[in-house]
Amino acid sequence: MTHKSLLTADARIKKRNAAEARFKAYGLGAIIIAMLALSLLLTSVVSTGSSAFKQTYATVSVPLTEAKLDKSGTRDLAVMKKVTTIGYTSLLRDGMVAAVEELGLDTTLSAKDIGGMLSKEAAATVRNRVLANPDIVGTSVMFKLLTNGRIDGYFKGRVTMESAALDGNTSPEELQLAQELADAGVIATTFNWAFLTAPDASDQRPEAAGLGVAILGSLYMMIIVLVLALPIGVAASIYLEEFAPKNRWTDVIEVNISNLAAVPSIVYGILGLAIFINFMEFNQSSPMVGGLVLTLMTLPTIIISTRASLKSVPPSIRDAALGVGASKMQSVFHHVLPLAAPGILTGTIIGLAQALGETAPLLLIGMVAFVREYPAAYTADAGLFGEASTALPVQVFNWTQRADPGFVERASGAIITLLIFLLIMNAIAIFLRRKFERRW
Amino acid sequence: MSVSLILALGLAVLGYVIAPRRALAVAGGDARTLAALPRQYGLNALLAVLVPSFAILIAGTLAGAGAYLGWTILVVAVVGFAGSLFKITPDYRARTHAENWIKLILIAASVVAILTTVGIVFSMLFEARNFFSQYDWKDFFLSAEWSPNFRGNSSLGILPLLWGTLYISFIALVFAVPIGLFAAIYLSEYASRRMRSVTKPAIEILAGIPTIVYGLFALVTVGPFLRDYFAAPMGFGGSASSVMTAGLVMGVMLIPFVSSLSDDIINAVPQTMRDGSLALGATKSETIRQVVIPAALPGIVGATLLAASRAIGETMIVVLGAGAAARLSLNPFEAMTTVTVKIVSQLTGDTDFASPETLVAFALGMTLFVITLCLNVLALLIVRKYREQYE
């Protein structure tokens, strides 16, 4: 056996060192893959969705001729309501054609096609305005109207001249004219507030679809979850952590809670459908049922985090309280609970964030329905939170099921909105933890 | 009913105000002779009215009793009110009694968790029993054909759905477990403090993203990408939604889950074991492979089982990424479907709770629940046993 210096590496040492380097590279590779997946996911969503926050509008003067809208001339709303959006469409067409002629633009398009550059929703917009204020009939009024989805897509880069040539719903001439109108300032792309406030729209008009109802529904459900899950979760944790004797019964509860945290969310949907809707006869698609289902789903999360923060309060605090004559209950409520509050709050916000993004159980309780009316928090008929509604994540799912490609953009935009809400909630949780967390 | 609720609330507040005065009066105006502070008497009166009336309210609503609920609540409230007032003597330990009511509330809250499980089991058991009275269980569990037909005469075999579920979960785990494990090892054994402080939250962001986002990612980006660059050129088929799409995206979703669980487990291995191995001359990677991993193995197995349970129960990614065709095939680029997808499709839209085509969803849900329950309990037992080993 030859002896060599320890400082010169022999073949075996080299091999071992190489193995070490490889192993480390695997670990780094795993992290890089995870980071790559995260950035890919976010860029994919943001690049398809950010354009949903912009919207193309045409500002045109629409002649509201009395002969068409109110033949009687009495401005009687009951009579004027008989004119449907179809009646308004011809007026919009006239307005658009007039705008094109005024600018002296050359086009081979028919008047019908020029009128068709506006969204089908535009007629409804004008009609609502006229019915709200009948006195404007007989005058020409400037309206800011939605253009159709293809033209909107053209200004956002989704629709090109090449794709328009293959598309039955639009033509390169139409896009050409739209470009000229945009140069003249008639058509402009602005920030899309309606996306956050308007209700959903039907299959043919993605340009009009908004998240108003969904955001309201999600808000209602979050209120229910907060009001129910926080007190129940905290009370259950206090009992299990501070009072429960260690016996078989509490062991069952404990295993049960950790199992509930891992039950597939869709199973909660089945529970909601069978118990809350079929058995207790709550309204289908109502935020009440959704909120209850999400409450049951969030409870285990809140209980687990609350117990952890109760556990982290040192026993000396309890002993000191008991020592000066407090009862066990007083020591918990006056001393332990306030000290554990930041941790409990953080856990609750994270639980809420989880509930906000949950989709599967809500599909089963009918929240995929097409809802255009803003749900009221309370009505005598439907009760508290009983009116049909949708929720943010379900609206995303709903839009992915529609044929028009404009809805993909809307769905991604809705996800951006959802992620922003989640980001805010998590930021608050992190802030609370940083600010109030105490290390004993 | 709402009238009697308001009355009960009023009684409670009244008791809260009157009881301390009555206690003082009984004690002859000297609070020191009382067994508890005067306000404890008030608290006791408040809870003696509220706790029983709310218990009746909740029990009554759950049982569906309508007509006499209001009167019952009122009676219970009055009894509680009178009882708490008449019992006041200088020796009456109001604090103990009030706290017993509070303890009752706490116990009731922890029973909600049990009730949830009971509710889950019963809701599915009940409807699944209806299903099996109309459809032979042997055909359900052993048939390889799934073709529901709302005019009747459907074939409702679970095997193709289970196959899709397991295939997708398998791909997801093959992707997520090594990456999650290696990421956890790197972060806990190699990474500098600074890198840890950046990377760990980033991985946790992945965990906080709702599954619908992953679903859309699968539908819009991953599916078409796999189709255009892998499936179509290699002749595996032209479907964007496929087992591979759903599996890969689900794998991404599971990475943070596996890595945070593994991180906990690796950190629980005592430092002395590492030090011993390093002192004998082993390199860091040898220590990890031959000491840390074997010691952490039960925990890692438990984490993998939990991840598998998550994958099997995952819904939105497969709804948007895997497709709807029930198929028994080995080709990973073909669209297949899962148990959860079919639960959604059978229970949304027009449903008729008398037909086996709708009720089958509950049998599917029951199967899903049992499978995930077994995995969860097994995993929890393993992890628990493992933790005890080093505590």
The answer as to whether B378 is a domain residue is yes
| Residue ending a domain, choose from A191, A220, A244 | A191
| B106, B150: one domain | no
Q: Backbone phi, then psi, for B343, in 5-degree steps?
A: -60, -45
| B33, B90: one domain | yes
The answer as to whether B135 is a domain residue is no
- Residues of B within 8 A of A264 (CB-CB) are 309-310, 312-315, 340, 368-369, 372
How many A×B Cβ pairs under 8 Å? 262
| B105, B209: one domain | no
Is A428 touching B (CB cutoff 8 A)?
no
List, as ranges, residues 7-36 from A with C-beta within 8 Å of B: 16-17, 19-20, 22-24, 26-31, 33-35
Give pLDDT, residue B66.
66
The answer as to whether B31 is a domain residue is yes
**Domain total of chain B:** 2
| A396, A261: one domain | yes
Range of the domain at B215: 146-390
The answer as to whether A327 is a domain residue is yes
| A154, A244: one domain | no
Range of the domain at A168: 54-191
Let me know: does B189 contact B358? Beta carbons within 8 Å: no
3-state SS class at A147: strand
Q: Give the percent of chain B with pLDDT over 90.
A: 49
Condensed to tens digits (0 to 9), the pLDDT of residues A223-247 reads: 999 999 999 999 999 999 999 898 8
Nearest to A241 by CA among A120, A331, A360: A331
Give pLDDT, residue A384.
85
Burial A36-47 (b: 16+ CB within 10 A, else e): ebbeebbebbee
B11 CB-side CA count, 13 A: 27
| B170, B103: one domain | no
Instruction: Write down the mean pLDDT value for chain B.
Output: 89
Q: What residues does A58 pair with on adjacent strands?
A: A145, A187
Which of B114, B117, B183 is closest, CB to CB, to A27? Answer: B183
Q: Backbone phi, then psi, for A358, in 5-degree steps?
A: -75, 135
Let me know: does B236 contact B230? Beta carbons within 8 Å: yes
Q: What residues does A62 pair with on adjacent strands?
A: A141
Confidence of residue B17 (pLDDT cuts 50, 70, 90): very high
State the pairing for strand pair A187-191/A54-63.
antiparallel
* Contacting residues for A318 by C-beta, under 8 A, at least 6 apart: A331, A332, A335, A336
The answer as to whether B130 is a domain residue is no
| B87, B184: one domain | no
Condensed to tens digits (0 to 9), the pLDDT of residues B137-147 reads: 888 998 888 88
| B31, B156: one domain | no
Which of B187, B206, B216 is closest, CB to CB, to A396? Answer: B216
The answer as to whether B43 is a domain residue is yes
The answer as to whether B232 is a domain residue is yes
Give pLDDT, residue A258.
87
- Going by the DSSP 8-state scheme, the letter that residue A402 receives in this structure is S
Confidence of residue B255 (pLDDT cuts 50, 70, 90): very high
Let me know: does B104 contact B47? Beta carbons within 8 Å: no
Confidence of residue B391 (pLDDT cuts 50, 70, 90): low
Q: Backbone phi, then psi, for A167, in 5-degree steps?
A: -100, 130
The answer as to whether A234 is a domain residue is yes
Q: What residues does A147 pair with on adjacent strands?
A: A118
Is B106 touching A (CB cutoff 8 A)?
yes
The answer as to whether A117 is a domain residue is yes
Let me know: does A358 contact A393? Beta carbons within 8 Å: yes
Q: Look at A27 and B210 and tell me if their CB atoms are within 8 Å.
A: no
| B80, B31: one domain | yes
Q: What residues does B156 pair with on adjacent strands?
A: B146
| A229, A181: one domain | no
- Rounded-to-integer distance, Cα A399 and Cα B26, Å: 69
Q: Backbone phi, then psi, for A96, in 5-degree steps?
A: -65, -45
Q: Is the pLDDT of residue B96 over 70?
A: yes
Chain B contact probe: residue of A243, A267, A334 with most B CBs at under 10 A: A267
The answer as to whether A281 is a domain residue is yes
- Rounded-to-integer distance, Cα A194 and Cα A197, Å: 5
| Residue written as token pair 């050129």 | B233
Which of B120, B190, B210 is closest, CB to CB, to A271? Answer: B120
The answer as to whether B166 is a domain residue is yes
The enclosing domain of A318 has a CATH number of 1.10.3720.10
Q: Which residue of A has its CA nearest to B180?
A: A30
State the pairing for strand pair A378-379/A140-146.
unpaired
Six token digits for residue B250:
């689900």
| B344, B304: one domain | yes
Instruction: Write down the mean pLDDT value for chain A.
Output: 88
Nearest to A113 by CA among A69, A151, A59: A151
ipTM at complex level: 0.90
- Rounded-to-integer distance, Cα A391 and Cα B365, Å: 23
Q: Which residue of A has its CA nearest to B102?
A: A329
- Of A175-184, B92-101, B311-320, minimum mean pLDDT range: A175-184
Q: Is the pLDDT of residue B22 over 70?
A: yes
| B113, B152: one domain | no
**Domain total of chain A:** 2
Give the H or E element holding residue A17.
Answer: helix A11-49
- Rounded-to-integer distance, Cα A276 and Cα A405, Å: 36
List, as ranges, residues 257-316 from B with C-beta within 8 Å of A: 259, 283-286, 288-289, 306, 309-310, 312-316
Nearest to A413 by CA among A146, A150, A48, A157: A48
The enclosing domain of B322 has a CATH number of 1.10.3720.10
The answer as to whether A47 is a domain residue is no
| Residue ending a domain, choose from B70, B100, B118 | B118
| A82, A155: one domain | yes
- Going by the DSSP 8-state scheme, the letter that residue A261 receives in this structure is T
| B209, B340: one domain | yes
Is B219 touching A (CB cutoff 8 A)?
yes
- Rounded-to-integer distance, Cα B220 and Cα B210, Å: 16
The answer as to whether A205 is a domain residue is no
Condensed to tens digits (0 to 9), the pLDDT of residues A295-325 reads: 999 999 999 999 999 999 999 999 999 999 9
List, as ranges, residues 364-383 from A with C-beta within 8 Å of B: 364, 366, 368
Q: Give the percent of chain B with pLDDT over 70.
A: 98
Q: Which residue of A has its CA nearest to B255?
A: A34
| Residue written as token pair 């925990």 | B299
**Residue ranges of the alpha helices (H) in chain B?**
2-26, 38-63, 69-86, 94-134, 137-142, 159-185, 193-208, 211-217, 223-226, 243-268, 271-279, 284-287, 293-313, 316-321, 339-347, 356-390
| A279, A177: one domain | no
Q: Give the percent of chain A with pLDDT over 70.
A: 99
Q: What residues does B260 pair with on adjacent strands?
A: none
Q: Is the pLDDT of residue A397 over 90?
A: yes
The answer as to whether B126 is a domain residue is no
| B75, B80, B86, B87 alpha-carbon torsion, rounded to 10° | 150
- Residues of B within 8 A of A357 (CB-CB) are 209-213
| B74, B213: one domain | no
Give residue A276's region: left, alpha or beta (phi > 0; psi -120 to 50).
Answer: alpha
Condensed to tens digits (0 to 9), the pLDDT of residues A86-120 reads: 888 888 888 888 888 888 888 888 888 888 888 88
List C-alpha distances in Å: B200 to A345, B188, B255: 22, 10, 12
Q: Which residue of A has its CA nearest to B127?
A: A274
Six token digits for residue A223:
């209120």
- Going by the DSSP 8-state scheme, the letter that residue B352 receives in this structure is -
| B80, B168: one domain | no
- Going by the DSSP 8-state scheme, the letter that residue A73 receives in this structure is S
Is A47 touching B (CB cutoff 8 A)?
no
The answer as to whether A201 is a domain residue is no
Q: Which residue of B has its CA nearest to A268?
A: B120
- Residues of A within 8 A of B266 (CB-CB) are none
Tell me the one-letter amino acid at B226: L
Mean pLDDT of B208-233: 91
The answer as to whether A262 is a domain residue is yes
Is B188 touching A (CB cutoff 8 A)?
no
| A181, A226: one domain | no
| A371, A415: one domain | yes
Q: What residues does A141 pair with on adjacent strands?
A: A62
pTM, entire model: 0.90
Q: Which residue of B has its CA nearest to A250?
A: B110
Condensed to tens digits (0 to 9), the pLDDT of residues B41-95 reads: 999 999 999 999 988 888 887 776 667 788 888 888 999 999 888 888 888 899 9
- Number of CB atoms found within 10 A of residue A157's CB: 8
Confidence of residue B30 (pLDDT cuts 50, 70, 90): confident
Is B78 touching A (CB cutoff 8 A)?
no
Nearest to A140 by CA among A59, A65, A57: A65
